Each structure stands twice: as C-alpha cells, then as structure tokens.
Chains A and B, each alone.
Chain A
Amino acid sequence: EAQVTQNPRYLITVTGKKLTVTCSQNMNHEYMSWYRQDPGLGLRQIYYSMNVEVTDKGDVPEGYKVSRKEKRNFPLILESPSPNQTSLYFCASSLASSGRYGYTFGSGTRLTVV
C-alpha cells in the first residue's frame, strides 16, 4: 500500500530532551515535507526537501532540524524541545511539484513537551 509512515504516533517528552520523529514513504516521491498543526492556525510548513541532500526552510523552522540522506526517509529532529513545540506534526510527500500533484500525508504525530 502506498503510504507515508511516521513514528511514533504519540510522544510525551520533557523540555530539553532531544527527540527524532521518523518519516518514511514508499512511493519513490521526490518531495517531502513536515508540517505542524495548532488550533486556529491551520497547517504551517516547517521544512521541505526537493531531493536527497536538498532541504529548505518553511514558514516555522526555528527549533527544528531535518535531514534527507535517503530518498524515502525524512526525519524531524528537535534538538532541545520546548513546550511551545507541543503540537500535531504531519509528514508528507509528493511525486514532484507539491502544487501540481499535491502532498500525501502521514497520519500524524502528537507531541507533548512538558
């Protein structure tokens, strides 16, 4: 089944403890992206990647890191999480241009930082 898989689905952590949310797609898509969703703020793009080793900042990149060493994987790294990063996170991938083809989203990771 074609899908975007992100893990874990739920995560509670403490302030300052580094964490990684994994994302993998099996559709051989070129583009991948991370979004966060907060109440009343819609989906805001954190980072995106157009290909292996090519990444760029979205609208809210502060406090996050990403890497794209392989085409299928695009992990999201929080080096020192803070409570304001408590949110619902979505990973997504697209065949090519996200406007022309649309993003396929994962099921989400709900992160709570205490």
Chain B
Amino acid sequence: DQQVKQNSPSLSVQEGRISILNCDYTNSMFDYFLWYKKYPAEGPTFLISISSIKDKNEDGRFTVFLNKSAKHLSLHIVPSQPGDSAVYFCAASGSIDAGKSTFGDGTTLTVKP
C-alpha cells in the first residue's frame, strides 16, 4: 500500500510560467509534508515543508499548499526557470515515528526556455 503518491511521472512547462506538482497521501497520521528536489548524479535536496496544522507555506518562488480533507498537497513554482528542471519528490513524516519519512515516486519537471 503506497502511502504517498505522485500520479504524474512528468511535467513540462514553459519558462516563466507556473509549475504545479501534485501529491496525494493516505495516512492521516502524517504531521509533516516535504518536497525534495533531485538533480542527476546527486542526492535529493530538501526544498520546503509544511506542518499539518497549516494550509500554506511560502519560500521565495516556491509555495506548498496542503488540503487535509482531500489528503492532497501541491508545490507551486512561480516563475519557473530552466534550472528548476529536476525530479521532485513529495515526502511525509509523523511526529511519533520522527525518523521515518515516506517518499512518493517522483515527478520529473522539465522547464523549457
């Protein structure tokens, strides 16, 4: 049973436009949701997170939205830049088992110049 799902394997966006990456989860016990970015031949890099008590968190061009009733979160990148082209992973974690972090399969974002 996959608890964190990213249903879109890939997304292509024009430079300057908005990129929206989506993630769904099934476990209502998750307390934190995170996004990581991964370039080829490198490890994932933590991008932004949101606590389950919030519905929005913003950091520069990156905003994460959480809809708890739908068990859905999304990452918005505005404006998108070619350097944003990477694989984006959604992850979720609880407070009790704080070392356990469950990842989705990833979405490959391509930003075209």
A residues neighboring B (CB under 8 Å): 4, 31, 33, 35, 40-45, 48-50, 56, 58-59, 90, 92, 94, 96-100, 102-108
Contact = CB atoms under 8 A, between A and B. Distances in A.
A112 to B, nearest CB: 16
B22 interface: no
A41 B87 CA distance: 13
Contacts of A92: 43
A99 B102 contact: no
Interface stretch (B53-61, B63-71, B78-86, B89-97): B89-97
Contacts of A33: 99, 101
A94 B42 CA distance: 18
Given A97-B32, A102-B34, A56 B106 contact: no
A11 B60 CA distance: 39
Interface of B: 6, 30-34, 36, 41-46, 49, 51, 89, 91-95, 97-106
A50 B99 contact: yes
Contacts of B36: 102
B103 A99 contact: no
A35 B45 CA distance: 14
Contact of A43 (B31, B33, B41, B89): B89
B49 A102 contact: yes
Given A42-B89, A99-B95, 16 more contacts: A42-B106, A43-B106, A49-B99, A50-B99, A94-B99, A98-B98, A99-B30, A99-B31, A99-B92, A100-B49, A103-B46, A103-B101, A105-B45, A106-B43, A107-B41, A107-B43
The interface centre, meaning the residue of A33, A90, A100 with most chain B CB atoms within 10 A of its CB, is A100
B78 to A, nearest CB: 22
A105 B101 contact: no
B99 A43 contact: no
Contacts of A43: 44, 89, 91, 103, 106
